[in-house]
């Protein structure tokens, strides 16, 4: 069996297939890293250069009877971190019925393009290049058939290619206006059933700006794909036979296949211990007072204040979520058959996951789910990374509340209510209104200061704002660069951590902004912690390169290595995943996107308070005595251990 790539040069309007032996390339992440290092050498070039190829493809288990095996995994040089990033679209490979496993998009079209890919039963591929004027594209994003953004674009494409969508149960990869005007544009894919969008089952490969790369580097606004090719015909027989899978699962886990899947995914389906399900339903009771709130200002508050604010979350977000999504059993998948049904949908359209709802909820001072949904809906429609958008809005709202910026500077209609001692239900409506105004400015590029932050990111922009508003900084005795939290890369790159208060999400690792790390609430010695983080990163990379949803990692991490060795003759799959990670580390160093020491006061406070919160008395004392020295010692020891483990 080969791993096949469909190369598409959108500048020359040409395409061709290339086959790789499984021993050389066994998944989309491995292919992407190999091509960026060896063929395109994208590390030498600007992040929006046409050679910043977007590699997006399925794993070698797609088409099998294994649940969670139909993610499309994207690899690209991130305009946010400036290094390689890997992101995934849930379920989007289920309709990827063409004889290529990955698409490799390079070159740049003069006009925005819509690619239409048809897979024929015999294995032939037909590709059409449809140009669309930018003015028309932006008009569609603004409003089409009562919809906006990616939903409007998808409706337009369905109307234009209805026969294709209905005949092949086709699907799309889309970008919104956020990809045109920011460096945090998402790749979006919406499940389509009988020619209609299935709201609530859409998925986003949003982190680190893959959508921005697709549009700004290549001028591609959408990829439509579908066909008659049956990928299962080239799979080992055991992967399409449930009885054979049962035998393998019994040997490995001691329980039947379906039972193992359901048992390992309790959190994402329904957890009777908390009487809820999905990431939102499971995380809020679990995280408690460590839940990130108020642009990380929560770390300075007393346990009593944090407990009161978490009580608001439980009353106005969690309880309403349970009533509207859990009790109604309005659960969906990402578009592929899966018993976990992790998409918990409220009011027939609001897919409610923890990360976007916390980032555009409590993190920016919104503690009511009905107010948060206004911002989340806009972020989704405009095709923005909701996590990074939370950091942008949180940064701006805090700057306004502290007087570093005035409302008119950033085009909002008032001052946010962010006092943790007086925060209540009414504050949510005030802050939601301002957040919606800011989300519009971010996506559409309609305010100069907001655009500066959205295009450069909070790390780089904060330093520029320190200079632009130096008098305000001096008067208020606080700088813009004091208040954001991020993992820094090189001179200008960064990424905001996922919403967990843990050193693992800002530690000096080569890929962050995702769960290639330890993200539980612990504060350990840097050498021990680095060892555990690398182990997690390798397992997560193994899962991602295989095209699997990480919600299935409980069984997949144990079973996949055996399947890869037994059915594909892939020797030592975990060692192979480690080699891919080492190549990523090599790329980041070539690109100047290697981890760099923390350069914001709040990141140091994030670490210092975490040491106290998680009971590490030794490091808490070191941070109290000299925070800068403690931070550089922990960071340096972690990074040194990381490189020793990778033999760098």
Q: How far apart are CA 503 and CA 481, in angstroms?
A: 20
For residues 217 and 49, the answer to whether their CB atoms sit within 8 Å is yes
Q: What is the CATH number of the domain that holds 178?
A: 3.60.9.10
Q: Are residues 278 and 330 in the same domain?
A: yes
Give the tokens for residue 519: 């993200």
Q: Are residues 629 and 510 in the same domain?
A: yes
Strand partners, 493: 489
239 inside domain: no
Q: Pick the closest to residue 433 from 472, 375, 481, 379 (CA basis).
A: 375
What burial letters (b/e) apply to 447-485, b meaning 16+ CB within 10 Å?
A: bebbbebbbbbbbbbbbebbeebeebbeeeebbbbbbbb
For residues 607 and 623, the answer to whether their CB atoms sit within 8 Å is yes
Q: Which residues of the chain have pLDDT under 50?
A: none
Q: What is the CATH number of the domain that holds 301?
A: 1.10.569.10
Query: Which pairing describes strands 84-89 and 72-77: parallel, antiparallel, or unpaired?
Result: antiparallel
Q: How far apart are CA 226 and CA 233, in angstroms?
A: 17
Give residue 370's Cα distance to chain centre. 23
Give the tokens for residue 99: 């004889």
Q: How far apart are CA 639 and CA 526, in angstroms?
A: 8
Q: Is 645 left (phi over 0), alpha (psi -120 to 50) or beta?
A: alpha
Residues in Cβ contact with 329 at an 8 Å cutoff, skipping those fewer than 6 apart: none
Give the tokens for residue 489: 């890369």
249 inside domain: no
Give the tokens for residue 375: 């911002």
Q: Are residues 544 and 496 in the same domain?
A: no
Q: Are residues 546 and 586 in the same domain?
A: yes
CA angle 552, 557, 558 (to 5 degrees): 115
H helix count then E strand count, the chain: 25, 19
Q: How far apart are CA 238 and CA 564, in angstroms?
A: 12
pLDDT of residue 426: 87
234 inside domain: no
For residues 3 and 60, the answer to whether their CB atoms sit within 8 Å is yes
Query: Which pairing describes strands 2-9 and 102-106: parallel, antiparallel, or unpaired?
Result: parallel
End of a domain among 205, 229, 253? 229
Q: Helical H runs in 215-277?
A: 242-253, 257-264, 266-269
For residues 383 and 185, the answer to whether their CB atoms sit within 8 Å is yes
Name the average pLDDT for the chain.
97
pLDDT of residue 648: 57
Q: How far apart are CA 589 and CA 183, in angstroms?
A: 21
Strand partners, 326: none
Q: Are residues 483 and 532 in the same domain?
A: no
Tens-digit pLDDT profile for residues 583-622:
999 999 999 999 999 999 999 999 999 999 999 999 999 9
Residues in Cβ contact with 80 at an 8 Å cutoff, skipping those fewer than 6 apart: 183, 184, 208, 209, 388, 457, 493, 494, 495, 513
End of a domain among 439, 470, 501? 501
Q: Are residues 542 and 443 in the same domain?
A: no
* Structural domain that includes position 103: 2-229
For residues 351 and 197, the answer to whether their CB atoms sit within 8 Å is no
Concatenating the DSSP letter of every residue in 99-141 gives S-SEEEEES--SS-EEEEEEE-TTS-EEEEEEE--HHHHHHHH
9 inside domain: yes
Give residue 569's Cα distance to chain centre. 31
User: Whole-model pTM?
Assistant: 0.97
Q: Are residues 96 and 127 in the same domain?
A: yes
H-helix or E-strand spanning residue 174: strand 171-174
Domain tally, the chain: 3
The three-class DSSP label of residue 171 is strand
Q: Are residues 566 and 481 in the same domain?
A: no
Q: Are residues 496 and 514 in the same domain?
A: no
End of a domain among 181, 208, 229? 229
243 inside domain: no
Q: Are residues 520 and 391 in the same domain?
A: no
11 inside domain: yes
Q: Are residues 102 and 12 in the same domain?
A: yes
Q: How far apart are CA 648 and CA 626, in angstroms?
A: 30
Q: Are residues 80 and 169 in the same domain?
A: yes
343 inside domain: yes
pLDDT of residue 34: 98
240 inside domain: no
């Amino acid at each position: 069996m080969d791993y096949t790539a469909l190369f598409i040069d959108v500048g020359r309007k040409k395409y061709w297939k290339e086959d790789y032996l499984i021993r050389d390339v066994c998944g989309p992440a491995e292919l992407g890293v190999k091509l960026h290092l060896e063929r395109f050498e994208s590390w030498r070039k600007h992040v929006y250069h046409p050679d910043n190829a977007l590699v997006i493809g399925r794993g070698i288990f797609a088409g099998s009877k294994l649940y969670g095996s139909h993610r499309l995994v994207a690899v690209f040089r991130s305009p946010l971190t400036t290094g390689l990033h890997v992101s995934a679209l849930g379920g989007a490979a289920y309709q990827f019925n063409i004889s290529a496993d990955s698409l490799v998009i390079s070159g740049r079209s003069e006009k925005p393009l819509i690619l239409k890919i048809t897979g024929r039963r015999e294995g032939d591929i037909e590709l059409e290049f449809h140009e669309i004027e930018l003015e028309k594209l932006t008009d569609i994003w603004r409003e089409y058939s009562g919809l906006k953004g990616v939903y409007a674009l998808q409706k337009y494409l369905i109307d234009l290619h209805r026969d294709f969508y209905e005949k092949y149960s086709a699907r799309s990869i889309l970008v919104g206006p956020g990809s045109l005007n920011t460096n945090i544009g998402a790749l979006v894919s919406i499940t389509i059933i009988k020619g209609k969008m299935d709201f609530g089952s859409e998925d986003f490969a949003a982190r680190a700006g893959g959508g921005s790369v697709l549009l700004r580097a290549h001028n591609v606004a959408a990829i439509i794909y579908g066909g008659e090719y049956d990928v299962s015909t080239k799979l080992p027989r055991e992967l399409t036979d449930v009885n054979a899978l049962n035998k393998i699962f019994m040997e490995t886990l001691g329980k039947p296949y379906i039972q193992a899947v359901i048992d390992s995914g309790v959190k994402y389906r329904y957890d009777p211990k908390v009487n809820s399900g999905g990431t939102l339903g499971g995380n809020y009771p679990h995280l408690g007072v460590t839940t990130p709130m108020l642009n990380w200002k929560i770390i300075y508050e007393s346990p009593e204040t944090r407990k009161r604010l978490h009580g608001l979350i439980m009353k106005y977000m969690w309880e309403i979520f349970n009533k509207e999504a859990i009790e109604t059993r309005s659960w969906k998948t990402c578009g592929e058959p899966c018993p976990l049904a992790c998409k918990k949908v409220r009011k027939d359209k609001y897919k409610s996951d923890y990360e976007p709802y916390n980032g555009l909820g409590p993190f920016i001072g919104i503690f009511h789910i009905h107010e948060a949904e206004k911002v989340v809906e806009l972020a989704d429609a405009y095709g923005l990374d909701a996590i990074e958008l939370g950091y942008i809005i949180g940064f701006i709202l805090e700057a306004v509340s502290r007087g570093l910026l005035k409302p008119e500077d950033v085009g909002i209609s008032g001052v946010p209510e962010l006092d943790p001692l007086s925060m209540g239900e009414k504050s949510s409506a005030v802050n939601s209104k301002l957040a919606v105004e800011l989300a519009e400015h971010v996506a559409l590029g309609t305010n100069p200061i907001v655009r500066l932050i959205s295009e450069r990111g909070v790390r780089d922009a904060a330093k520029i704002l320190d200079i632009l508003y130096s008098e305000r900084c001096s008067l208020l005795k606080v700088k813009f660069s004091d208040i954001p939290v991020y993992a820094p890369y090189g001179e200008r790159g960064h990424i905001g951590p996922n919403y967990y208060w843990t050193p693992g999400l800002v530690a000096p690792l080569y890929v962050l902004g995702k769960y290639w790390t330890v993200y539980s609430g612990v504060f350990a010695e840097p050498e021990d912690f680095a060892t555990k983080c690398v182990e997690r990163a390798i397992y997560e990379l193994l899962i991602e390169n295989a095209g699997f949803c990480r919600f299935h990692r409980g069984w997949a991490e144990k079973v996949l290595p055996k399947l890869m060795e037994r059915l594909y003759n892939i020797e030592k799959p975990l060692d192979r995943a480690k080699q891919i990670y080492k190549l990523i580390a090599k790329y980041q160093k070539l690109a100047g996107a290697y981890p760099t020491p923390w350069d914001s006061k709040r990141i140091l406070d994030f670490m210092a308070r975490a040491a106290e919160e998680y009971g590490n008395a030794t490091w808490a004392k070191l941070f109290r005595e000299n925070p800068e020295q403690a931070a550089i010692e922990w960071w340096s020891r972690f990074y040194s251990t990381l490189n020793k483990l990778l033999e760098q």
